[in-house]
Amino acid sequence: MPPNTTASSGQQPGKSRRKKGRRGRLIVLVLVLALVGGVAYGGYWSISTVRASFPQTKGSISLDGLSAPVDVKRDGNGIPQVYASSDEDLFMAQGYVQAQDRFYEMDVRRHMTSGRLSEMFGKGQVDNDEFLRTLGWDRVAKEEYDTKLSPATKKYLQAYAKGVNAYLEGKEGEEISLEYAALGFSNDYKPEKWTPVDSVAWLKAMAWDLRGNMQDEIDRALMTSRLGPKQIDDLYPAYPYGRNKPIVQDGQYDDLTATFEQSDSASGASGTSTGGTTGQSSSGTASSALQTQLTGLYDVLDDLPTAVGVNGNGIGSNAWAVSGEHTITGKPLLANDPHLSASLPSVWYQMGLHCRTVSSKCQYDVSGYTFAGMPGVVIGHNQNISWGMTNSGVDVTDLYLQKLTGNGYLFDGTVKPFSSREETIKVVGGASKKIIVRETQDEKIKGGETLPGMPLLSDRDDELVKVGKKATVDAAAPDRGDGYGIALRWTALDAGTTMDAVFAMDKAADWNDFREAAALFEVPSQNLVYADTQGNIGYTLPGKIPARDKDDDGRLPAPGWDSKYEWTGYVDQDELPFELNPKRGYIVTANQAVVDQDYPYTLTTDWGYGARSQRITDLIQSKIDDGGKISTDDMRQMQLDNSSEIAKLLVPQLLKIDIADKDVREAQKLLEGWDYTQDADSAAAAYFNAVWRNILKLAFGNKLPKELRVEGQCLWVDPVNTTGPADETEKVRECGQREADQAQPDGGDRWFEVVRSLMDDPDSDWWKTPRSGTRPAADNRDKLFERAMIDARWELTAKLGKDIDTWNWGRLHRLFLKNQTLGTEGPGFLQYALNRGPWRLSGGEATVNATGWNAAGGYGVIWVPSMRMVVNLGDLDKSKWINLTGASGHAYSSHYTDQTNKWAKGELLDWSFSDKAVEENTSDTLVLKP
C-alpha cells in the first residue's frame, strides 16, 4: 500500500447500489460462494502467487518474430522506453511490454468491446453483453480492419498482436495477473490470443464515452414530463459568447461561405441554437412513448461499464498552447490534462517508442500516453511536434423514435423490414443465450453517400417493448400500431480510419503533416492542439461530423418515420475550423464552444459553457499583461488552479443575507475574506460547496422528474398533468431513479450559467421552495439562499462535526481508486487487495483542476485529470508528465500507484526523451532478442 492511503472496502464514491439486482457490475458471484465454502485464501495468496505475474525487466528474452534485438529501458517509475531498428519490431515490442504490465486490463477491455463479458464474469453481465452486441463495436472494428485501414497500419497491428501473444505463450492465468488467480476459484477461464481487431475495437469504446450530447438529448426529453418548453430552456441557457471566448477566434475554414450559400439544405440552422425545442416536439417525440422508452434506455445505458469516462457525463479536458513570444524559452509550451473517470489502473500507459535511426525502415521517435491494448501513442510528442486533445462535444449521435409494425418500421409512409442478425452470448458457468439484433436499412442520402442502418436499442429491454405497444403519442405522430422503439444513429457505427490517424500523427513532422493526419481522425471528434519545435502553435477540429436539415438541431430525439430528420451528409474536412499562430499568441481548449455564432454549421447546441477555458485564458493573459514570460512550471501551476467561478458570483450575495441562527452565521463567516480557492484544507470551500449543492437541490433538483433525480431520494410531488398545485392529500410520492454520479443537477458549468441568468430575477418561480420540517419555505432568491445556508450548515455538521474548525474540503472531496472489475463490488478481501485510497483532493467541478463531483449525489470525486503533461518545445527533455496511477496493473507492484501521491499534490515527473536523458534515468534494461 502507498503511504498515507488506506484500503477501501465500501462502495465507489458517488455510486449507489441498484435495487432488486438491476445493476450488473463486473462481479464473480460464485467466487463469494467458494470463499464461504471454506477456501483458505490466506494460504492461497502466497508471495509466489502475488509475484508470479510481475514482469521481467532485466536480462534478455527471446521472441520469435523479431528481426533484430530491441531494448526496453525502464526508469525508476517503471515507465518503458523501447528502442528498435524497424517499425514492426517496435510495435511488436510495444505489445509485449504492455502485456507484461497490463494484460488483464487489456483482456477485460476486449471482452467489453466485443460484448463477451459473460465469458469472464458470468450471467451478471448478460444484459451488458446484449447491449454491446447490439451496438456491434467489434463488427465495425473488423470492417475497418478489412476495408478501411492502410496496409502499413494493418502491418503494425499485426506486429503488436504478435508481441502480445509472445508474452502469453505458455503462461497460466496466475502467471499473467492476480485477477486471473482469483477467477481460477470459480471457472477455468483461459485468455485467448490477441488479434488486430481487438486493438481497433478499443477506439469504439473510447468514442462511446466521448460521444457528445446524447445524454442531454435524453435528459431534455425526460424533462418534458414535468417541465414546459420555457422551463427547459431556462435549464439549457445560451452559450455566453460575450464572456467566454470560443476556441477559434482568428481561424479559417476553407471556402465554407461559398459552399454554404450554394446548398443551405446540407447544413443545420445558421449559428448555434440558443435553446428551445424544435419542430420535433410537434411530431410527437415529446410524448409518453418517448418518455417511457428513454427511461428504460437510460437504465440500460447506466448499467454499462465505462471505458474512459462516466458514460458520457462530465467528460472534459484542458489543453492549451502558448507561443514562444510569451515563454521563457522562446519556443512554445503545450499543456494537456484530459478529465476522465478515476480508474485503477489509469486508462493511460506512458511509453516511448524510438527507432534507433529514423528512416524509411523505421519511422518513429515518439513518446507519450498510450492505451494498453493499442499500438502507437495517442497524446504526446515526437522529435518535431507535440499535440494534446480535449473532447469537442460535437453532436455525432441522434436517437430516433421508430414506429414498429410487425418486423418492420415506418419510414416516409412505407413499412420497411428490419435487417437482423443472431448473436450467441456464451456464459461461463451457465447456458449460452441467443439474441436477435434488429437494424433499420441503410439509407442513401444527398451526394451519393450511404448512412448505415441503425440498431434498435429498445430490443434489449423487454419492458421497453411492452411499453412501446401501450404508449400514447401526440396527434401528429402515426398511430401506435405495434408500438414504438428507440434506434441510434452514431458516426462510430460506420467504419473509419482513426487507427491510421494515430500512426500518422506519431510521425508527423510539421503542421501540414499533422493536419493531414488529423483528417483521418474520424471518431471520436476531438479538439487537437498543436505546437512544434519551429515555433508554431495551432488548433484543428477533425472528425466525421453530421450535417442536418436546417429545421433539425439534434437537441431532441427525432421521429424516425420522417426522412427530413435524417442526416443530410457530413461536414467536409476543409470546412471544419482550424487556427494557426493566432495574433494573441495562445490557443485554449477546455470544451467551450469551438466557433462563434457566425459559423454556418450547427456542430452542437451543447457546448461546455467555458468556465474553465476562460479562467485559463485569464491566467495566461494576466501573465502577458504583466510583462512576464511563461515557464513550464507556470503551465503546471495553471493546471492546478482551484478557483471557483460560481463562488465569485454567489459569495457576495450570500454574505449580504442576515442569518438569525448563530451556528449558521458562524458558518457564513467562513466565506468572509475567502479567495474562492478550493484547496483541500479549506473550510470555506467545504461550506460553500455544501451551500451550492443545496441551492441546486432546492431551486432545481426537487422540481425535476424522478428519472433525473438520485435513486432512492423520495419527494411528495404534484401528480403529472395537474393544472395547478395539488392539495397536500393529492400529492404522490416519487423516488429518484438515477445513479448518484449521473443525476441532475450535477453542478457543472451549465448550472453556473443557469444560476447566473436567474440572479437578476429574484422573484423567479425557480427560487420558490416549500417548507420542509423545521426548514422555512422560500418565495424569492435570498430566502432560498438563506435556506440553503441553513441546510448546508447542518449537513456538514452531520458529515464533519459541529466544530467548524475541523472542517475542510478534502474531508468531503475524496478520491477512491477502484479496480474496475473485481475491486468494484467483489468480496472484501479482494477489494482490500486491489483498491487504493482515499486521497483528499483540492479542486472541484468546472475548475481548471477539475476533480469532478456530482452536486446531486454527493461530494466524492468522480472524474479527474487522468494525466497531466507540459511539453517544452525548446528542450523536450525538460518536458514534464504524470499519470493518475502507475505503469503497472499488478496490485502489489511498486508501480501500481506510485505516481498517485505526486499527482494528488500537483507534482510532475521529468519526461526524458533524448537517448542521453533516457540512458541517465534508466533503472532496468531488458533486451528482447530474435
Q: Give per-residue pLDDT as tens, 543-588.
A: 999 988 766 666 777 889 999 889 989 999 899 999 999 999 999 9
Cα–Cα distances in angstroms (integers) from residue 926 to residues 56, 311, 535, 915, 923, in the given order: 8, 39, 37, 16, 10
Q: Which amino acid is at 344?
A: L
pLDDT at 833: 86
Of the segments 19-28, 403-412, 650-659, which one has the largest average pLDDT value? Answer: 650-659
**Phi, psi (rounded to 5 degrees) for 241:** -60, -30
pLDDT at 879: 98
Please tell me the least confidently modeled range out of 395-399, 614-618, 636-640, 796-800: 395-399
Quick one: what percent of the chain has pLDDT higher than 70?
82
Residues 402-418, mean pLDDT to the nearest whole number:
91
Q: Is the pLDDT of residue 34 over 60?
A: no
Biggest alpha carbon–alpha carbon distance for the chain: 82
Residues 178-198, mean pLDDT to the nearest whole number:
83
Helices (H), 377-470: 462-470
Residues 218-245, mean pLDDT to the nearest whole number:
91
**Between 440 and 822, the higher pLDDT residue:** 440
Quick one: what percent of the chain has pLDDT higher than 90?
66
With 0-12 CB in 10 A as exposed, 13-18 as middle and 19+ as buried, what is 773? Answer: exposed
Find the distance separating the first CA and the last CA of the chain, reported in whole Å.
Answer: 38
**Cα separation, 744 vs 746, whole angstroms:** 5
pLDDT at 209: 73
Residues 759-785, mean pLDDT to the nearest whole number:
95
pLDDT at 289: 52
**Between 309 and 688, the higher pLDDT residue:** 688
**Confidence band (pLDDT; 50, 70, 90) for 262?**
very low
Give every CB contact of residue 529 below 8 A, 6+ residues apart in sequence.
319, 320, 321, 334, 336, 387, 388, 389, 390, 537, 538, 539, 587, 589
**Confidence band (pLDDT; 50, 70, 90) for 382?**
very high
Other residues' Cβ atoms within 10 Å of the Cβ of residue 725? 10
Q: Is the pLDDT of residue 274 over 70?
A: no
Helix pair angle (151-168, 196-209), 10° resolution: 100
Locate 276 and state its grid cell.
428551445
**Confidence band (pLDDT; 50, 70, 90) for 821?**
confident
Model's pTM, two decimal places? Answer: 0.90
pLDDT at 186: 55
**Cα separation, 157 vs 198, whole angstroms:** 10
SS3 for 46?
A: coil
**Cα separation, 696 vs 882, whole angstroms:** 34
- Give the burial string for 38-74 (b: 16+ CB within 10 Å, else e): eeebeeebeeeebebbbbebeeeeebeebeebbbbbb
- Mean pLDDT rounded to a whole number for the chain: 86
pLDDT at 309: 53
Pairing of strands 433-439, 586-589: unpaired
Q: Is the pLDDT of residue 313 over 90?
A: no
pLDDT at 41: 40
Q: Dihedral of CA 243/248/250/256: which sign? A: negative
Q: Is the pLDDT of residue 185 over 60?
A: no
Task: Write out pLDDT tens, residues 825-868.
Answer: 667 778 888 999 999 999 999 999 999 999 999 999 999 999 99
From the list 495, 477, 540, 553, the residue with the least C-alpha distance to 514 is 540
pLDDT at 857: 95
Pairing of strands 365-370, 586-589: unpaired
**Cα separation, 490 vs 175, whole angstroms:** 40
**Between 122 and 541, the higher pLDDT residue:** 541
Q: Which amino acid is at 209?
A: D
**Between 226 and 285, the higher pLDDT residue:** 226
Q: Is the pLDDT of residue 35 over 50?
A: no
